Amino acid sequence: MTIFSGLVPRARALFSDNKGPWGPSSGGEPEDEPSPKGPWGETPSKGKRTPGSSRQTASLDDFLRRGRERFGGGGGYSGRPIGSLIFWAIGALVLVWLLFTSTHVISPSQRGVVSRFGRYTSTLGPGVGFTLPSPIDRVKKIDVENIRSFDLGSTGDNDLMLTGDQNLLDIAYSVRWNIRTPELYLFQLADPDETTKQVAESAMRAVVSRVSLNDAMGDKRAEIETQVTELMQRILDSYRSGIQVQGIAIKQADPPDAVNDAFKEVTAAQQDAQSYVNQARAYALQLTAKAQGEATAFDKVYEQYKLAPEVTRRRMYYETMEQVLSKVDKTIIEAPGVTPYLPLPELKKSQPQQQETQR
């Protein structure tokens, strides 16, 4: 009982303690105890304010109020208009970003190659196409109708090619090509343009090595161009390059500069020889046609001769004598004496002279 009787006064004293955050209250504070200090080291005043502290508090309140008014807010709604403006600005930027990166206009001569995170997914045709926004989907527009071209050869000794008859040929040519399959063109080869040039040079060397120098310099250029085009297309198709070869045009096919003059003289001589051969052939054709005409005429005469041999012989005799005697002077003598004659050839010769004098 003595234990409980001692705990009751202590519990009553514990619950009756009314000390505040700055120490015991004014009613129960002993006069000889020092006043405790506040959290900032100052001694709290007991219900009293100094004039300086009230002015500092008022100036701080005015500063905060002016700041809220400056930024368009006040009271508990401070900062809400600025936040809403930022929200709408961000929303507008996102909308514009989605619109410009998701909508794609493809012209009739183009194709749009779509890659998702760098991997090919599809190809957009002409018109308006839609994809996922960037950077998820990216679209690269490729012109598939534009004819590209490049020139090769005739830039140095390294471009000389060996013909089938072991001669060197200085050749210059151009290659025309376009893109047939844009997705293969972009993703199949590391450098499709350079690959096309190397394939063109390889194909030209392979074809030139099967022909002679005269053929390469002469009338077989068109055949060489066709063979190079076909060989290039087969090689590029095996590479799955997506490139279509439009054609090859040989601009120059000459011997090396060191022997070019001699080859020109040889070429000129060959052309002269060919010209003489052509003239001889033309004369032979002319003689053959004339002989065939005479043979046809003889056949017609023979047919008439079989119908009337005597008449035909006499007519042929008269025609022959007319042709022979018309070109010589004649004297007709009748027996038993010489009779005066009429000089018909002289009259024929004098008639043109008289006509000229009259003019």
CA distance 23 to 38: 9
Place of tokens 């008449």: 311
**Burial status of residue 179 (CB atoms within 10 A of its CB: 0-12, 13-18, 19 or more):** buried
Q: pLDDT: is 310 or 147 the higher one?
A: 147
Report in angstroms the alpha-carbon separations of 18 from 9, 48, 178. Answer: 16, 20, 96
Question: Is residue 135 predicted with pLDDT exceeding 80?
Answer: yes
Average pLDDT over residues 214-229: 89
Q: pLDDT: is 131 or 258 the higher one?
A: 131
CA distance 168 to 148: 29
Q: Does residue 126 contact residue 104 with C-beta atoms inside 8 Å?
A: no
Count other C-beta atoms under 10 Å from residue 300's C-beta. Answer: 10
Fold designation for 148-262: Tetrahydropterin Synthase; Chain A (3.30.479)
Percent of the chain with pLDDT over 90: 32
The residues spanned by each domain of the chain are 82-142, 148-262
328-355: b (≥16 Cβ within 10 Å) or e? eeeeeeeeeeeeeeeeeeeeeeeeeeee
Bridge partners of 174, per DSSP, are: 151, 249
Q: Name every residue whose Cβ is closer than 8 Å to that of residue 133 and which is 6 or more positions away in sequence.
A: 97, 98, 101, 102
Average pLDDT over residues 93-97: 85
